[in-house]
Amino acid sequence: MSLIPPEQNLFIVDLHYIVDFDEIEPELDAHVEFLERNYASGCFVASGPKVPRTGGVIVATAKDRAKLERILAADPFQAKKLARYSITEFRPSMTASQLSS
């Protein structure tokens, strides 16, 4: 099964913390639960913190941008206005064999 369904595009979600990390830290467990739910649904492909720790990055696949935006609205970081989100949508024309097998 492919990690990238043929009818879907990929999205790079760039999270930028807009509060001090002291306000982020108490929400980390809830954010991880949000990530785990979306890995289980097949929407998220990869994620992790930026280096240095100014936010994070999520690689996602979804039917369309509007669907992804609805999913991201459930992230506690967004719901509590702790991070700003930038979304870049792209159609992969080449992928590593691990992503398409």
- Is 101 contained in some domain? no
Residue 43: CATH number of its domain: 3.30.70.1060
Asked if residue 86 lies in contact with residue 16, where contact means CB atoms within 8 angstroms, the answer is yes
Q: Are 15 and 82 in contact (CB under 8 A)?
A: no
Domain ranges, residue 52: 9-92
Q: Tell me if 56 is assigned to some domain.
A: yes
Task: State residue 1's pLDDT score.
Answer: 46
pLDDT at 79: 95
| Phi/psi at 79 (5° precision) | -60, -35
Which pLDDT score is estimated for 3? 64
pLDDT at residue number 97: 73
Count of structural domains within the chain: 1
Segment holding 36, helix H or strand E = helix 28-40
Token duo for residue 72:
């991201």
What pTM value is reported for the model? 0.89
Low-confidence residues in the chain, pLDDT < 50:
1
